[in-house]
Amino acid sequence: MPEFNAGAMENAGAVTIRDQYVFRSKVTDAAYETRAETILHELAHMWFGDLVTMEWWNDLWLNESFATYTSIACQAYAPGSKWPHSWTTFANSMKTWAYRQDQLPSTHPIMADIRDLDDVLVNFDGITYAKGASVLKQLVAYVGMDAFFQGVQEYFKAHAFGNTRLSDLLGALEKTSGRDLKTWSKKWLETAGINILRPEITLAADGTVASFHVRQEAPALPSGATGEPVLRPHRIAIGCYDLQDGKLVRTDRIELDVDGELTAVPFPAGTRRPDVVLLNDDDLSYAKVRLDEESLKVVTAHLGDFTESLPRALCWASAWDMTRDGELPTRDYLALVLSGIGKESDIGVVQSLHRQVKLALSMYAAPAWRETGMARWADAALEQLRAAAPGSDHQLAWARAFTAAARSGAHLDLVQGLLDGRETVQGLVIDTDLRWSLLGRLAATGRADEQAIAAELERDRTSAGEQHAASARAARPTAEAKAAAWAAVVEADTLPNAVQEAVIGGFQQYDQEELLAPYTAKYFAAVKGVWDTRSHEMASQIAIGLFPTLHISPETLETTDAWLASAEPSAALRRLVVESRAGVERALKARAADAAAG
């Protein structure tokens, strides 16, 4: 479906899928994996959603979490699957999304309180899809996989073509597993936030392990979030890893129930401590995990040396989480990524790291150091691009990362040369979509004008071409280009949704803060009127996409607070603005942490 504003929709007998999933240029295997996951997700809805439907929207997560969980489980376990490492992708994308959403002021229990249809629309969020699916994965670990699927089958037999609520599913699972799920459900589904798990290991005089505990902390709920911070029951695995011939190999795995504040780990007394102790190995539970000092030292030097992709993804995620929390300065995060990314074989993880480094450098780096960090990243990206195997997914991913990072004259000359065909990288095909990436970067840095954009559109007269051209025009670093983009989106109301999205994406450029500064006031003057007069889909693109996310200053917080106090926005609009405000607040903290490390 052209311009479909979701990934896909599970209409019984006529699943609709967005047109971007028909690939027209080379994409990496991560894109095929995502597309397969979407198809499986809609297929899963034939049961959860279509055959059995929730009674009311507060159980929406039952549809979405189940569809997400089973589609990834199918990729992981189906014989002959092309993506047996799909839990790595899950850890690295879905969970990161869930953790981010669950730390916003708007966080809510998975079982949401749904008052009206506005509530429903903003609730298709990271809690409903990603946290819900993570908690479902935890539920499977808690009751056991066989009991889980037996219970689900009973549930479908009993309720086919009917409506249900959560208790119907939990009742079926209690019967097949024999475990009490009332307390579990109360703690996991009716409360918000993420617990932190930390290992506490003491050594005896001879260097062997004297005691080993897991300490659980209640979620630090952001101000404005409702609910009580709780400790939860977690079914987790603990991975013990040792360095063997330069590789981090799992030498032991302990699975146990963690409950309450302190849980003793059955670790054989008198045994040497492993080089790395990884809590929540295999990613069974949903928790922020910290490494103890010894493990952190080894991981910092050897993150790329885990033989399996999932523990690497968990350590990458932990480092990213610490960066977002200001516990790891952005410059140290960049150093960690640079030391390990060259050994990362999982293309989805590599691409996530690209996005996270870009975000960290533009939002979380101390302004005084940012240029240095960006130059270092651009140099490294070019080095990786040149070193990647010709024609490989890694080569394509690094070509895109380098293009996005290019800032110096020499780097932008190379971008221009690749587009013109004067420069080549062996095996790298400059196809339609890659041409647009190159041109988009040249437009954003003032090297491609309207004529160049129009010429490119002439080569690619498709709806995707129209969107790329609109984005490139909005990205140009001139006051006129910004004014035209703003007028097209905010003042007129005539753009198709995909074009509007493209213009917004081009408008916000991290190295154009000065040009964008006047738009903070314009945003707050306009957003309520936009919200009240446009459809939910169009208005939320604008409310989220044009918020002054890149204007990271105490002044942005003050302006936002003044607007919140006086504008009387609807609950849904208030929520979107409060979420964006939290992003600026977090960036200010992370910048301070990075500056302190300088």
Please identify every residue annotated as catalytic.
Answer: 42
Please tell me the count of residues contacting Zn ion according to CB under 5 A.
2
Task: Name the segment binding Zn ion (CB under 5 A); options: 58-66, 114-122, 140-148, 231-239.
Answer: 58-66
Residue closer to Zn ion by CB (options 67, 443) is 67
Classify residue 11 by burial, with Cβ atoms within 10 Å: 0-12, 13-18, 19+. exposed
Shortest Cβ distance from residue 124 to Zn ion (Å)? 8
Any idea how long the chain is? Answer: 598
Residue closer to Zn ion by CB (options 35, 447) is 35
Shortest Cβ distance from residue 130 to Zn ion (Å)? 12
Shortest Cβ distance from residue 112 to Zn ion (Å)? 16
Are 295 and 275 in contact by the 8 Å Cβ rule? The answer is yes
Shortest Cβ distance from residue 39 to Zn ion (Å)? 12
R_g of the chain computed on alpha carbons: 25
Q: Residues 458-465: contacts with CB within 8 Å, 24+ apart?
A: 459/432, 459/435, 460/432, 460/435, 460/436, 462/24, 463/2, 463/3, 463/19, 463/498, 464/19, 464/20, 464/24, 464/433, 465/432, 465/436
Shortest Cβ distance from residue 13 to Zn ion (Å)? 16
Residue closer to Zn ion by CB (options 56, 124) is 124
Residue closer to Zn ion by CB (options 55, 561) is 55
For 174, the enclosing helix (H) or strand (E) is helix 166-177
Task: Name the segment binding Zn ion (CB under 5 A); options: 50-58, 62-70, 237-245, 511-519.
Answer: 62-70
Which stretches of 82-224 are assigned E, i.e. beta strand?
162-164, 196-203, 209-217
- Alpha helices, DSSP H, located in 360-408: 367-387, 393-405
Task: Name the segment binding Zn ion (CB under 5 A); options: 66-74, 153-161, 285-293, 493-501.
Answer: 66-74
Task: Name the segment binding Zn ion (CB under 5 A); options: 59-67, 357-365, 377-385, 430-438.
Answer: 59-67
Picking from 498, 499, 563, 494, the residue whose alpha carbon sits closest to that of residue 534 is: 494
Picking from 476, 411, 492, 468, the residue whose alpha carbon sits closest to that of residue 443 is: 476
Residue closer to Zn ion by CB (options 66, 563) is 66
Residue closer to Zn ion by CB (options 8, 404) is 8
Beta bridge partners of 277: 240
Task: Name the segment binding Zn ion (CB under 5 A); options: 61-69, 94-102, 318-326, 431-439.
Answer: 61-69
Per rule CB under 5 A, is residue 60 in the interface with Zn ion? no
Picking from 94, 132, 95, the residue whose alpha carbon sits closest to that of residue 110 is: 132
3-class DSSP state of 80: coil
Per rule CB under 5 A, is residue 475 in the interface with Zn ion? no
Q: If you write DSSP's letter for every residue of 480-516 in order, what string do you get?
A: HHHHHHHIIIII-----HHHHHHHHHHH--TT-HHHH
Per rule CB under 5 A, is residue 298 in the interface with Zn ion? no
Structure tokens at 366: 């101390």
Shortest Cβ distance from residue 348 to Zn ion (Å)? 20
C-alpha distances out from residue 535 to 530, 531, 538, Å: 9, 8, 5
Per rule CB under 5 A, is residue 197 in the interface with Zn ion? no
Residue closer to Zn ion by CB (options 33, 174) is 33
Shortest Cβ distance from residue 67 to Zn ion (Å)? 5
What letter does residue 361 receive in the DSSP assignment? I
User: Residue from 62, 67, 147, 240 that binds Zn ion (CB under 5 A)?
Assistant: 67
Q: By CB under 5 A, what part of segment 336-375 binds Zn ion?
A: none
d(CA 161, CA 150): 19
Shortest Cβ distance from residue 64 to Zn ion (Å)? 5
Residue closer to Zn ion by CB (options 64, 102) is 64
Measured at the alpha carbon of residue 475, what is the angle toward residues 489 and 512, in degrees to the nearest 5?
105
d(CA 354, CA 345): 14
Per rule CB under 5 A, is residue 464 in the interface with Zn ion? no
Shortest Cβ distance from residue 500 to Zn ion (Å)? 24
Picking from 441, 519, 439, 445, the residue whose alpha carbon sits closest to that of residue 483 is: 519
Q: By CB under 5 A, what part of segment 522-551 binds Zn ion?
A: none
Task: Name the segment binding Zn ion (CB under 5 A); options: 63-71, 339-347, 503-511, 532-540.
Answer: 63-71
Residue closer to Zn ion by CB (options 164, 323) is 164
3-class DSSP state of 466: helix
The half-sphere exposure of 276 on its side-chain side, counting CA atoms within 13 A, is 30
Per rule CB under 5 A, is residue 94 in the interface with Zn ion? no
Task: Name the segment binding Zn ion (CB under 5 A); options: 29-37, 67-75, 247-255, 265-273.
Answer: 67-75
Residue in the block written with tokens 């409903």: 128
Task: Name the site residues for Zn ion (rule: CB under 5 A).
Answer: 64, 67
